[in-house]
Chain A
Amino acid sequence: MVEVKADYISTNNNGTPVVILKQKEGAPIRRLLIWVGEAEANAIKSYLDEMPSPRPMTHDLIKNIIDALSTTVNAVYITKIEKSTFYAKLSLKADTQEIAIDSRPSDAIAMAIRFNAPIFVDEGVLEEHGFLEEEKKDG
């Protein structure tokens, strides 16, 4: 697993939001693009930009509920890709208990940034689907 950070949110030519994950350490630094839904993109962007909504958005509600359950998100993992769909897991920790819950990457990332939890990507996923900065300029 390789640690990444949610770098920023952008959109492709069709206006589909994409989250850009950037490898945190090591060289060369790879990036991974994951297409996400609009609501999830907003949930990530508003938090990265520190522009909180006046009312709790869905992921804020999830955070408040996780807090109420005396639990925390300790990490999220982007584990695999199947038929062009990325799969992720949200790792929750309560006392000594650690449980991983199936999630879309977009929700997992939106939760990770709310808990300051690290985001990890499977090495195979990053190897096959990641790219270097120079490649992006070419393509």
Chain B
Amino acid sequence: MVEVNIEFVTIDRNTRTPLVVLKEREGESKRILLIWIGESEAWAIENQLKQTPPPRPITHDLLKNVIETFSGKVESVSITSIEDSTFYAEVTLELNGEKFELDSRPSDAIALAVRCEVPIYVEEKVIEENGFLEAEVKKEKTPKRDAKDILENLDDDIAKHYTV
């Protein structure tokens, strides 16, 4: 497992679908992983990152409140596999010394992780096969992988983050 940070949430221009950009936290070659998510989950991640909470608790706030009310603790979340282009994730929950691994979509797991301030991990094999290097984005004009194409089509102000 490698730990990742959320770089940012944006919209893929080609498909008009929100996506979250995850970046390896340590190591020399920081790899990037893109995960396409739903609009409401993108919003849930974005407004927590920007610290602009809505007036009423949104669904992921409720989730966090439920866990805390019963003295549960989210330890971490992990992106564990990809099957038929669908990423799978798990939420690791600790309650009274007992651990639970709960099946989740990555978007919900990430929205919860940012609220509980816990690490986000990605299975090495998943980032190895589906991630790419930050430097590759700039160098290759004809991307071999779709993900790069997406990144190159990001809004200019967002693409600035990728000036290597």
Chain B interface (Cβ < 8 Å from any Cβ of A): 38-41, 55-60, 62-63, 65-67, 69-70, 72, 86, 91, 93, 95, 100, 102-105, 108
Q: Is the CB of A58 within 8 A of B66?
A: no
> Is B67's CB under 8 angstroms from A55's CB?
no
- Are A69 and B95 CB-contacts (below 8 A) given A90-B62, A104-B58? yes
Q: Which residues of the partner chain B approach A39 to less than 8 Å between Cβ atoms?
A: 38-41, 59
Q: Let me know if A92 is at the binding interface, CB within 8 A.
A: yes
Q: Find out whether the CB atom of B62 lies under 8 angstroms from the CB atom of A65.
A: no
Beta-carbon nearest neighbor of B88 in chain A: A55
Contact B93 A58 (CB under 8 A): no
Say whether, besides A38-B40, A56-B105, A68 and B100 are in contact (CB < 8 Å).
Answer: yes
Any chain B CB within 8 A of the CB of A16?
no
Residues of B within 8 A of A62 (CB): 59, 62-63, 66
Question: Contact: B59 with A65, CB < 8 Å?
Answer: no
A90 to B70, CA, bound (A): 13
Q: Is the Cβ of B41 less than 8 Å from the Cβ of A65? A: no
Give the number of A-B contacts (CB < 8 Å).
Answer: 83
Q: Report whether A64 and B102 are in contact in the complex, using a CB–CB cutoff of 8 Å.
A: yes
- Residues of A contacting B63 in the complex (Cβ-Cβ under 8 angstroms): 58, 61-62, 65
Chain B: minimal CB distance from A90 (Å): 7
Chain A contacts to B: CB under 8 angstroms: 37-40, 55-59, 61-62, 64-66, 68-69, 71, 85, 87, 90, 92, 94, 99, 101-104, 107
* CB contact between A102 and one of B38, B57, B59, B105 (< 8 Å): that residue: B57
Q: Inside 8 A of A92's CB, which chain B residues have their CB?
A: 66, 69-70
- Given A65-B93, A92-B70, the answer on whether A104 and B104 have CB atoms closer than 8 Å is no
**A61/B102 in contact, CB under 8 A:** yes
Check if B70 sits within 8 Å of A101, measured CB to CB. no
Return the contact of A65 from the options B56, B58, B91 (Cβ within 8 A). B91
The answer to whether A37 and B102 touch across the interface, beta carbons within 8 angstroms, is no
In the complex, how many angstroms separate the beta carbon of A60 from the nearest chain B beta carbon?
Answer: 9
Residues of A within 8 A of B102 (CB): 61, 64-65, 68
Partner of B59, one of A66, A87, A107: A107
B residues within 8 A CB of A55?
86, 105
Q: Are A103 and B72 in contact (CB under 8 A)?
A: no
Complex contacts, B62 vs chain A, CB 8 Å? 62, 90, 101, 103-104, 107
Q: Which of A55, A57, A92 has the most CB of B within 10 A?
A: A55
Given the complex of chains A and B, what is the CA–CA distance between A66 and B100 in angstroms?
12
Query: Is A59 within 8 A of B66, CB to CB?
Result: no
Chain A residues with Cβ under 8 A from B69's Cβ?
92, 99, 101
B74 to chain A minimum Cβ distance, whole angstroms, is: 9
